[in-house]
Structure 1
Amino acid sequence: MLTHVWGLLAHPNREWKQIHDEKETITHLYGHHVLIMALIPVACAFIGTTQVGWDFGGGHTIRLNYFDAFAAGVAFYLAMLIAVGFMGTVIHWIAKRYSSRPSRRRCIIFAGYVATPMFVGGVVALYPLVWLCMLAVVLGLCYSAYLLYLGIPNFLDISREEGFVVTGSTLGIGVLVLEALLGVTVLLWGYGAKLLGIEL
């Protein structure tokens, strides 16, 4: 369980080759990695928004009650799980033009592991200071981009030269997906489920 997290953060080149040789399934990826890692930002945001509250500066803090935070957490969790599958499908669509033609399964597995730094960075939501959370998102995105760049030749078997196009296209779409998730985060975690008309 979670055996690749440290490897992807500490020695990603070697770890990608190991993951490549494992012939993992999507079910195993979600059951042993994505479902667990996606809980990190959700659980930390739940604690942070109910115990500390979002700090928007100027002494203005928004704290959610437990029911609203739980509803927001469930929605955010599902959005992240869907985003991993969506990005894997995007990578598969982009990579079809290359000779190696990785399967959709491999591309979704790839996307799940590339998202690891973003999941880990969610720990900062324990103290939901807006600028701190944004910094964590930027750093997580940069390291995810690095994993993407290293993983394309080592996991998807696409040459490094061809991989620049895959990396650039995937990052562009990934940033749009991330912005959508951040928008959902602000709505759900920042203002509470009641703002969206959810009555609990």
Structure 2
Amino acid sequence: MAILNHTLGIFLHPDSEWESIRQEQSSFQSVFFGHIPFLALIPCVSAYIGVTKVGWTIGDGAPVLLAAESALAFCALAYVGLLIGVYLFGEFINWMARTYGVQDDKQRRHDESGAMAVYVSTPMFLAGIFNIYPQLWLIVASLCVAGAYTVYLIYEGMPILMKIDKERAFMYSSSVITVGLVLMVSTMIATVLVWSMGTGPVFID
């Protein structure tokens, strides 16, 4: 399966995998819908289990749990937010492509940008499995490791996927990372705000 091959390959041999992704020439839509709806389930389902069955502790207190309905509403909103976030990430990468000298035609640039957004997001989604044990130190550590590898994938993959020289690829990658951070924070804030205006957090005593 392409999803399994690319997901594993992007970790095991990223250089050759980026070249394979470029040669594959799949559309943004096919790559997006073939990956993100499934990968986005990992952090959301894990978080639901974590906050309703395991809980988190504050100091030496008893574990804090969320009510099932409240947790489900938050995870559903987070799931939608992740889908929208990755899609917008791809669109922003495409929007910046011509600025940094990507010479491919309009459709090809759009597809390459979408592929970049999807595959560099993979480590962050996989790290979401640790949401099943919602302790702050573990979540932060896993996100830091996943984030570092995501940054590496962007810098490594940009010149290969977009076929531009390394100097322009470095500047392009730096801009992409900045946009990605802004989108990630914005998605998190928007999810919490919408959730709080709806059911909000309901804790189990």
Question: TM-score normalised by the shorter chain: which range applies?
Answer: 0.7 to 0.9
| Cα distance per residue 1:76-135 (max 9 Å; x no partner) | 011111111111122122221233245223212210111000000001001000121111
RMSD: 2.2
TM-score (normalised: structure 1): 0.88
Residue number in structure 2 paired with 1:196? 197
Structure 2 residue aligned with 1:44, among 40, 43, 46?
A: 46
| Cα distance per residue 1:139-166 (max 9 Å; x no partner) | 1111011110111011111221111111
Residue number in structure 2 paired with 1:35? 37
- Name the count of aligned residue pairs: 195
AA aligned to 1:132 is: L
Instruction: Tell me if the contact between 1:8 and 1:16 (Cα under 8 Å) persists in the aligned partners.
Output: yes
AA aligned to 1:197 is: G
- What is the identity percentage for the equivalent residue pairs of Structure 1 and Structure 2? 31
Within 5 A, what are the aligned runs for 1:62-141?
62-102=64-104, 103-141=109-147
Tell me how far apart the structure 2 counterparts of residues 181 and 59 of structure 1 sit (CA, whole Å).
30
Tell me how far apart the structure 1 counterparts of residues 96 and 62 of structure 2 sit (CA, whole Å).
44
Report the CA distance between 1:61 and its aligned residue.
3.7
Is residue 157 from structure 1 mapped to residue 166 from structure 2 by the alignment? no
Residue number in structure 2 paired with 1:22? 24
| Cα distance per residue 1:7-57 (max 9 Å; x no partner) | 111111111111111111122212321111111101111111110113344
Tell me how far apart the structure 1 counterparts of residues 7 and 59 of structure 2 sit (CA, whole Å).
34
AA aligned to 2:49 is: I
Tell me how far apart the structure 1 counterparts of residues 102 and 32 of structure 2 sit (CA, whole Å).
24
Instruction: Tell me if the contact between 2:25 and 2:111 (Cα under 8 Å) persists in the aligned partners.
Output: no
Which sections of structure 1, spanning at least 5 residues, go unmatched? none
TM-score (normalised: structure 2): 0.86
Moved more, 152-161 or 92-101: 92-101
Instruction: Tell me if the contact between 2:28 and 2:110 (Cα under 8 Å) persists in the aligned partners.
Output: no
Which sections of structure 2, spanning at least 5 residues, go unmatched? none
